Amino acid sequence: MQEEMRQLKEVNKNLRRQIRQRLGDCLENLGFEQLLDLEKESQEAVYIIRERKLKVIGNKLETLKKKVINLGCT
Amino acid sequence: MGRGRVELKRIENKINRQVTFAKRRNGLLKKAYELSVLCDAEVALIIFSNRGKLYEFCSSSSMVKTLEKYHSCSFGSLKGTQPENESQYNYHEYLRLKARVEVLQRSQRNLLGEDLAPLNTKELEQLEHQLETSLRKIRSTKTQSMLNQLAELQRKEQVLAETNKALRNKLEENAQEFPRQMWEANAQTIPYNPLPTHSDEFFQPLGLNTAMHNSFNGLRYNPIGSDEMNVAGVNANNHNGLFPGWML
């Protein structure tokens, strides 16, 4: 149990550090190569998220359009 | 079973509540018994009805015995003694930490563009905005780092260029000191004549002091080499006279 606690704390610490970096903080500790990797990952994530967002909004639009048509208010 | 969807809250209707209690109580006692038999587990079940009536089941010979076992087990203790309190506190801490880690892991995955399904439009928008801001910071840090590297390399280039220039000047001075005929006549075994000692200062910026001296001193021209040297020596394009262009 003690060991698990210690490991959990370690995982906690690492995760917080990583998340901070992904949010653009504490970048000084990163080497140049790592900085490039981080940029690439973040860029790709932005693409994915934007796509997902547009899809969700698009679906909502479609659903509402159909509802409006069904209500006969074209 | 499953005929009607039951909402999980207190049954308002008194009779339904009583009936349900009886049915489910029996079912639960039966399950406890089955569990203890099927899986060889020591199972104890305690139920107090709404009015306070006790219903119990125990797989072992004595409920008291099983309860004692329960008491001596750290996390389940009802007693208020110090070590047991601490264990319970630790356990709660552990659970809290575990929950926090799970939240962090979820955030991390979101920042990677994973597990986006539960997020609504607003949350997706926020996430996108967060990442865009962070990308700006990452890129500006990157650019700054590259500019620093560039400045460093430019500085090095300048130092090396100056060193080269100084070396070249020194060699030209020495070339004028040595007559050209002597160079060609002794083509077979010309050892490299070391530059005057104060040339050390030219080698220092590069930190090659001894190393360079040794490598030059080690040069002995064989016939093949010297032919090339001769050719180079008489070559009008050779500004230096002492060393052919390819050696600089």
Q: Out of B97, B131, B137, name the one closest to residue A46 (CB).
A: B131
The candidate with the shortest Cα–Cα distance to B135, out of A71, A59, A38, is A38
Q: Out of B108, B112, B128, name the one closest to residue A50 (CB).
A: B128
d(CA B134, CA B115): 20
CA distance A68 to chain B (A): 21
> pLDDT, tens digit, for every residue of B220-229?
444 444 444 4
Q: Out of A12, A28, A32, name the one closest to residue B104 (CB).
A: A12
d(CA A22, CA B57): 55
Interchain contact A12–B (C-beta under 8 A) = yes
The ipTM, to two decimals, is 0.87
| DSSP code string of B58-109 | ESSS-HHHHHHHHHHSGGG--S--HHHHHHHHHHHHHHHHHHHHHHHHHHHH
> pLDDT, tens digit, for every residue of B156-175?
999 999 999 999 999 988 88
pLDDT for the residue numbered B145 = 93
Chain B residues close to A5, C-beta within 8 Å: 90, 93-94, 97
Amino acid at B157: E
Q: Per the CB < 8 Å rule, is A35 touching B107? A: no
Residue B114 has pLDDT above 50, yes or no: yes
Q: Block means of pLDDT (10 residues each) for chain A, length 74 residues? A: 85 91 86 93 95 94 93 75
This prediction's pTM: 0.48
